[in-house]
Structure 1
Amino acid sequence: MMRFSTLIRHPADWMTGTSTKDCAVITSRIRLARNLRGHPFPGWAKKGERAKALEILQPAVESLGVMKDAFSRELKDLSSVQKQVLVERHLISREHAARGDGSGAVIERRQSFSIMLNEEDHLRMQAIRSGLQLSDAYKALTELDTELEEKVDYAFDPNLGYLTTCPTNLGTGLRASAMLHLPALVLSDQIGPVLQAVNKIGLAVRGLYGEGTESLGNLYQISNQSTLGESETTIIDRLERVIQQVANHEQNAREKLLEDDPDMVADKIGRAYGVLRHAYLIDSKEALNHLSLLRLGGNMGFFPADTVNMCDSLLMDIQQAHLQLHAGKKLSPEQRDVIRAEIMRSRLQSLNSPDSHNIKNDQTDRFPENGNPEEA
């Protein structure tokens, strides 16, 4: 099995696969909730019952084809920093990180699949892909789910579907979501109406780390809220349409900002570059907000296109637990701010100043083939 240090040494596949064409949608995630038949839900189970469920689940998950050479551990064997690193990489939930005895995680070596054992449900399985690839992520996770169902006995009712701890997951057990980067909608004060429209059609909008978290760096998660009474494909198709519409609105807002006020756009991106390139102290919130503008600059052509991938990697590497892992010790907030700035300066050392020359006259090339929100 893979060591923790090996797992986090390289960025996940989905952290480096975003293209400028899919500039608004960073990642797509599909999660399935499943439980064992005849075993109490983890929240109701006694310590011995949780351990028994884990004894069944962990070897079954490790034996899956995609989990060859995977990372597999009981959470009690991980330090608090290691667990928080997995949260920051969206591989386990904050709630799961708070658990210990009787809980575990199995993570595919490229971090495209992760399975939480004895979280709120016995199994919380997820597939993550870069860009808007909900259907591909669902297809891949369904294959894993089908293979696992041949090894363990799921709790399933012919009328209700898959049985889950929370009624909102009952039925398909499906939660589909996408992480979107929406800086132009924020800069143009259109973000409120767009997100209100998303909420009105029954979808949830959350922050960087899901339910109960704020939006940082102009990043938003959009997901389905109900799972009962609709097929998986119906849920995913509707969500993909809405996410594409939001992405189109963001694209339109970027074009309009460049058309109406290119100097303001260049100024904001240039200031963000200047701060990140030269700061010696920077807190997480400020860093994420400046990184958001740097990423926007990579999408708009102010920087080389691979700047986007660098920003996506930095989004993870400057988080609190990643910094402590990097330093090999517990850090005070002030020490984290120093190391965060140091990492930024180092990574941006070879990135030249933003080039705004002819940006305004080159919008068509910079925003290809995404269409009109009205046509979506």
Structure 2
Amino acid sequence: FMDKIIESYHGHKPTDKHLSSMDYNQLDCPPFPADEDKMINSTRIRVARNLADYPLGTAVTRSQRKEIETLVVSALNEFKGELKGKYFSLETMTDADKKQLIADHFLFKGGDKYLESAGLERDWPEARGIFHNDAKTFLVWVNEEDQLRIISMQKGSDIHAVFKRLSVAASKIEEKAKFANDEHFGYISTCPTNMGTGLRASVHINLPKLMNNKALHQSIADKYHVQIRGIH
């Protein structure tokens, strides 16, 4: 059943093996020409990850969810240099921290009816939280839809720098917390749409004239297999 869903969405057949690399040295991404670069406000890349030694969030127990948080936070607390930052527990964060995280568009919230129906918001907000580095160019969501959402972002169009930060951080986390991976499915995620690399890359881009023709805008997105999403 799952194979049929995955083949329909991704074109990945039941006999296919998933191949991907998180090695930033293999990323061939030359700078954009100046006339294109000026249109890009920011670049963001995230990956969804779950831990190999635990069930997915739909089946994880309360104690296991706490163990996941403890394990991941211990890895995050070892970050140095540009990755060094602070973890904010949803249970214990101050009102001031909450307001700032909302202002930064970093905070994830409960109350999603689809996540609730799948059992992903049990014991909310226990053992959930957000880490961000001091520069606010790197985030980790803990125990939301997936056990980890690892996010790298910055102003401008430097895709290589954004991916390198993500790659380095994910590798450091995995030194303590092995990610669930399968040779057929790739990285295991809660939703089949995130199977494979579990990666989504996006740019916040200025296209004021194109936005005046939404039908054309959507047809171009469909042609290149990209999605038009919100600004946050």
The normalised TM-score by structure 2 is: 0.71
Q: Of 63, 66, 73, which residue of structure 2 is paired with 1:58?
A: 73
**Structure 2 CA distance for partners of 1:42 and 1:82, relative to 1, 3 Å:** farther
Q: Which amino acid aligns with 1:190?
A: N
Cα deviation, residue 28, structure 1: 0.4
**Conserved 8 A contact 1:66-1:108:** no
Gap regions ≥5 residues in structure 1: 1-18, 210-376
Would you identify which runs of 4 or more consecutive aligned residues in structure 1 move more than 3 Å? 19-23, 66-69, 79-85, 92-99
Aligned to 2:229: 206
CA distance in 2, matches of 1:179, 1:82: 26
Q: Which amino acid aligns with 2:93?
A: L
Q: Which has the higher strand share?
A: 2
Aligned to 1:24: 39
Q: Which amino acid aligns with 1:78?
A: M
- Where do residues 82-161 of structure 1 align in structure 2 (5 Å cutoff)? 82-83=97-98, 85-94=100-109, 99-161=124-186
The answer to whether structure 1 residue 169 and structure 2 residue 194 are counterparts is: yes
Cα deviation, residue 65, structure 1: 2.7
The answer to whether structure 1 residue 195 and structure 2 residue 218 are counterparts is: yes
Cα deviation, residue 68, structure 1: 6.1
Aligned to 2:61: 46
RMSD (Å) for aligned C-alpha atoms: 2.7
Q: Which amino acid aligns with 1:30?
A: I
Cα deviation, residue 46, structure 1: 2.7
Cα offsets for 1:159-214 (capped at 9, x unmatched): 2211111111111110111112333333xx334302331134321111223xxxxx
Bigger CA radius of gyration: 1
Gap regions ≥5 residues in structure 2: 1-33, 113-120
Aligned to 1:73: 88
**Conserved 8 A contact 2:75-2:172:** no
**Conserved 8 A contact 1:199-1:205:** no
Identity %: 27
The answer to whether structure 1 residue 181 and structure 2 residue 206 are counterparts is: yes
CA distance in 2, matches of 1:103, 1:144: 19
Cα deviation, residue 96, structure 1: 9.5
Q: Which amino acid aligns with 1:28?
A: T
Cα offsets for 1:352-376 (capped at 9, x unmatched): xxxxxxxxxxxxxxxxxxxxxxxxx
Q: Judge which range, 124-133 or 194-203, deviates more.
A: 194-203
Greater RCO between the two (CA within 8 Å, min separation 6)?
2
Q: What is the count of residue pairs matched by the alignment?
A: 189
CA distance in 1, matches of 2:99, 2:58: 21
CA distance in 2, matches of 1:43, 1:140: 29
